Structure 1
Amino acid sequence: MSESVLLNPNSRPQLLGRLAEATDWDLAVVGGGATGLGVALDAAARGYSVVLLESHDFAGGTSSRSTKLLHGGVRYLAQGNVALVREALHERSTVLANAPHLASRLSFIMPSYAWWQTPFYGIGLKLYDLLAGQAGLGPTRFLDRRGTLAALPRLQPQGLSGGVQYWDGQFDDARLALALARTAVREGALLLNYCPVTELRHENGRVTGLRCRDAIGGQSYEVRARCVVNATGVWVDGVRQMDGDAQGKTVTPMVAPSQGVHVVVDRDFLPGDHALLVPKTADGRVLFAVPWLGKLVLGTTDTPRRDLPREPQPLRSELDFILGEAARYLVRPPTPADVRSIWVGLRPLVRPVGDDSDTGSLSREHTVLQASSGLVTVTGGKWTTYRAMAEDVLARCVASGLLPRRPAGVSATLRLVGAPAPQAPAGPGLAALPGQHLYGVEAATLAQLPGAGEELAPGMTEAMVRFAARNEYALTVEDVLARRSRYLFLDAELAGRVAPRVARILEEETGVNPQLAAFQALAQSYRLWPA
């Protein structure tokens, strides 16, 4: 057992003490979202010494604001990108196998309101099944009108001729990120949230490490590393510019961000365990209505942005679009008064880089770039393929001589913290209400903590707050109610009401200011409808 496994995530001084040691790391990862955590886990599992630093909380940005789908990408199949779809379908099965408590299969229904839609979409989805092969989650079926309405009883019946049923996956994105983080620690990595990188270290024009600052205590630290990976998502250009500043040049931005908005309403707008997918809305976009943790998630949009706010806000036009399209397909149209929560995620769309960097565009989805200084940057991609992205990043590091060669593929069968045994019965799935099943085998530990029988919200107990503080790096109310529990995303008003009790428990556990007032303001913003 490595030393880091013995470190209590709640013992921040102990973690910072290890960071302060005069140690040369093999790999320093900047960014604690899906991509950075995937890189850290894959590297640690191969035996590299790894430190990961996150400026805010793990999965605090894009990685907790996805549509919650593990999918191969039906739309990429329509574009002819078969290789990308095949890779994503393979990785989908890997996540389902390695974290069955946090990911489950989900049935989707595509309704047909024109005679040609069922055969057209059905043939494409049969090809989707063929590409999945043994990793398929269930066969595509053609449905008549009666079968479609049986699956989606609140679907608009007028003009409906039938539909197509196919299978994909869904997951709890933020909790999967935490499982990646904790599994990386189990494999020997050191991870710290609330520890922003303030500077990159250079010697003779090469990156040799970084400088970071503990956002809680204010102390700065020097970190030496053979290889530094910039995995900060939509914010990668900021770190790239740190590298450019040391060389006296301005880097060309490689990210053109867009935002996706999601609206949450009660499940009775579309009861049952099937998701609705409209592949082409009135303006050519895709509409999802996905059952998730007892609620219904409606989305999403794809709106370009020029700025990179930590908390992006929806446009009125985006919200009107989502509710307007939902009204076309649901018997009871949701209104702004029905909305329980609104969340917005920024997507890092990659554009060509025109500087002197050596660019390796590994797929249409993600890009790995190595600067002349040796700084390795990865961005783009999607949650489903986080592990494949990590392998591509480490392959680049090895090929460049930044890391010694070690056997790859270790993470493909590495079960994450909390994962039940392979033969264990399947849980209720991610469409069900939140509860202890999301903790997998750690539910037994949870049951032993104080407050295990004291419910703060449906499926959330005082013990879960203590578990978050003791085992999951939680320091603030937002950490708990946005990412360890998902109530900010499920019901922002309820999250605001339980926040004071969460704050009291957190402060008792950590001794750190839990930032209650900041969270209550945030929770209010998740319910506001723009003028």
Structure 2
Amino acid sequence: MTTYQNPLLTPRAELLDRLGEPRIYDLVVIGGGATGLGVALDAAVRGFSVALLESHDFAKGTSSRATKLVHGGVRYLAQGNIALVREALHERTTLLNNAPHLAQPLAFVMPSYHCWEAPFYGVGLKMYDALAGKAGLGSTEFMGAKQTLQCLPTVRAQGLKGGVKYWDGQFDDARLALALARTAARQGALLVNYCAARELLHENGRVNGVVCENTETGTRHTLRARCVVNATGVWVDALRQQDGEATGRPVLPIVAPSQGVHVVVDREFLASDHALMVPKTADGRVLFAVPWLGKVILGTTDSPRHDLEREPEPFPEEMEFILRESARYLRKAPTPDDIRSIWVGLRPLVKPQDDDGNNTKSLSREHTVLASRSGLVTVTGGKWTTYRAMAEDVLQKCFSNGLLDYKPAGVTAHFPLVGSPSTPVHHRMCDAQGWHSYGAEADFVRQLPGAERDLGEGVNEAMVRFAARYEYARTVEDVLARRWRVLFLNARRAAEMASDVAEILQQETGHDPQPAAFVSLAEQYLRVPR
């Protein structure tokens, strides 16, 4: 088993110095979300030289705004996509084993209010178990009304016939992304956030590098590479278009963004360590109520969105749907005044070339890997659970197109991420964040200055210093949105903590941590569209 000693420092000046060194990388990855980070780690473990560029912070976009589920995809099974479900179930177990402090099993309950529902959905879930095989996390159970209420004591009891219990997983998406980045760095990869890819470089019709810009200073660097991977999520078409124009081969967009809205309320609305899953609401959509880090996530939606905002806001009808349908199943109906945070993610769904992208529910959740005539490799689509399989597919595309020399796959299947403890974990992902969130690094963080100074919501001064020194954090948002998840759990408290966090970050980095911008963002996360 891979073991790690003290955490690796991430001083920005040194990272930028390395970025400026004249060399040719085997692989330059553009995009620091789940997919790009997975590619960087897999390539680095295989022994390739790797640089990764992220225009904002790692997991700033979609990769920090998931429904927090590590799952095979029950609804994909209903669509008949057996291959996707089987792959996802296998990868689910791999992820849970490689980062047990950040990803764990979670029991789901489907309450039944009609006699046909439990047997109908239960049969499908038994198939789900069968597809998982030895990778299963627990057997599907049929339950009566009494047992269902024991699992979900705050679910509506009137008319309850019973329920079905099944198992999937949940995780902390942003911290898992950070663990991928830090593990890749341990393997020699250079990863730089707040460094945007501005221009693809070509020679004799082949892409051979990137011009990137430090977004804090405007300084530009040129990176040469044998292979360039475009892993920018919903934004992949911008680089594809740039590549096509440079080579005289314009391209058509392949991504149809789909918006997913999530609403956070207090645990009193779902006083359980089980999640609630409604496979078909009154209008045919799926509803989740998921206990996570001391709160409850309600969601989600699947709405076409044709702009690509970095901080998209929910549509009024999406909020109405989530609150209305939650009220149908929860004994206490959440209201706008109960909302602690609202956040929105954009899914990069891959569309057929003749599709206008207006019906995202029908689009595939599978990933797509393409290589242009110039050699630019683009990956998009997919989901968090299968990030590792996606990375292997990307590298296989690099091999099959002669961009890299072949090296065997499978190197990350049993490769614990930074922080992965060697002993069993005793916390649950539904518990509030604490020292346990650092896994094997908790004792190290405790030794830093300020461990006794509480800043609120479980955050202390030592944790902020750790984020700045070892976790690439530059701004208040980096700390309170992704190193610690306060913005996603209680936006009002996050805003109140901004000035204290900013003061510590300023001491550590000498850089403006942008507290005012963060307070403005927190206000957006509290805004309910009417």
Residue of structure 2 in register with 1:377 after alignment: 378
CA drift at 1:457: 1.7
Aligned residue runs from structure 1 range 130-209, under 5 A: 130-209=130-209
Matched to 2:333, the amino acid is P
CA shift in 2, pair 1:490/1:25, >3 Å? same
Residue of structure 1 in register with 2:424 after alignment: 425
Does structure 1 retain, via aligned residues, the 8 Å contact 2:199–2:211?
Answer: yes
CA drift at 1:364: 5.3
Deviations 1:436-465 (A, max 9, x none): 111001001111011111111232211111
Residue of structure 2 in register with 1:100 after alignment: 100
CA shift in 2, pair 1:154/1:188, >3 Å? same
2:414 is the alignment partner of 1:413: yes
Secondary structure at the counterpart of residue 449 of structure 2 = coil
Does structure 2 retain, via aligned residues, the 8 Å contact 1:45–1:187?
Answer: yes
2:288 is the alignment partner of 1:288: yes
Matched to 1:314, the amino acid is P
Secondary structure at the counterpart of residue 470 of structure 1 = helix
C-alpha distance in structure 1 between counterparts of 2:180 and 2:438, whole Å: 13
Does structure 1 retain, via aligned residues, the 8 Å contact 2:365–2:383?
Answer: no
CA drift at 1:338: 0.2
CA drift at 1:353: 4.3
C-alpha distance in structure 1 between counterparts of 2:76 and 2:295, whole Å: 28
Percent identity over paired residues:
66
C-alpha distance in structure 1 between counterparts of 2:145 and 2:425, whole Å: 31
Q: Give runs of ≥4 in structure 1 deviating > 4 Å.
A: none
C-alpha distance in structure 2 between counterparts of 1:200 and 1:388, whole Å: 26
2:394 is the alignment partner of 1:393: yes
Does structure 1 retain, via aligned residues, the 8 Å contact 2:230–2:376?
Answer: yes
Residue of structure 2 in register with 1:501 after alignment: 500
Residue of structure 2 in register with 1:485 after alignment: 484
Matched to 2:439, the amino acid is G
Does structure 2 retain, via aligned residues, the 8 Å contact 1:7–1:14?
Answer: no
Secondary structure at the counterpart of residue 169 of structure 1 = strand
Residue of structure 2 in register with 1:346 after alignment: 346
Residue of structure 2 in register with 1:515 after alignment: 514
Residue of structure 2 in register with 1:272 after alignment: 272
C-alpha distance in structure 1 between counterparts of 2:14 and 2:112, whole Å: 58
C-alpha distance in structure 2 between counterparts of 1:514 and 1:192, whole Å: 17
Query: What is the number of equivalent residue pairs in this alignment?
Result: 517
| Unmatched segments (≥5 aa) in structure 2 | 355-363
CA drift at 1:249: 4.2
Give me the TM-score of the superposition, normalised by structure 2. 0.96
Residue of structure 1 in register with 2:472 after alignment: 473
Does structure 1 retain, via aligned residues, the 8 Å contact 2:9–2:469?
Answer: yes
Secondary structure at the counterpart of residue 523 of structure 1 = helix
CA drift at 1:250: 2.9
Does structure 2 retain, via aligned residues, the 8 Å contact 1:89–1:132?
Answer: yes
C-alpha distance in structure 1 between counterparts of 2:12 and 2:270, whole Å: 44
C-alpha distance in structure 2 between counterparts of 1:324 and 1:270, whole Å: 16
Matched to 1:62, the amino acid is T
CA drift at 1:407: 1.6
2:46 is the alignment partner of 1:49: no
Does structure 2 retain, via aligned residues, the 8 Å contact 1:378–1:393?
Answer: yes
C-alpha distance in structure 2 between counterparts of 1:456 and 1:138, whole Å: 39
C-alpha distance in structure 2 between counterparts of 1:460 and 1:124, whole Å: 42
CA shift in 2, pair 1:483/1:63, >3 Å? same
CA drift at 1:217: 2.0
Does structure 1 retain, via aligned residues, the 8 Å contact 2:7–2:470?
Answer: no
Matched to 1:463, the amino acid is A
C-alpha distance in structure 2 between counterparts of 1:389 and 1:299, whole Å: 26
Matched to 2:350, the amino acid is V
Secondary structure at the counterpart of residue 301 of structure 2 = coil
Deviations 1:120-143 (A, max 9, x none): 111111111111111111111100
CA shift in 2, pair 1:106/1:81, >3 Å? same
Residue of structure 2 in register with 1:359 after alignment: none
Matched to 2:461, the amino acid is E
Deviations 1:287-322 (A, max 9, x none): 000000000000000000111001001011100100
C-alpha distance in structure 2 between counterparts of 1:13 and 1:288, whole Å: 43
| Unmatched segments (≥5 aa) in structure 1 | 355-362
RMSD: 1.3
Residue of structure 2 in register with 1:530 after alignment: 529
Secondary structure at the counterpart of residue 97 of structure 1 = helix
C-alpha distance in structure 2 between counterparts of 1:85 and 1:6, whole Å: 36
Does structure 2 retain, via aligned residues, the 8 Å contact 1:7–1:15?
Answer: no
C-alpha distance in structure 2 between counterparts of 1:298 and 1:206, whole Å: 46
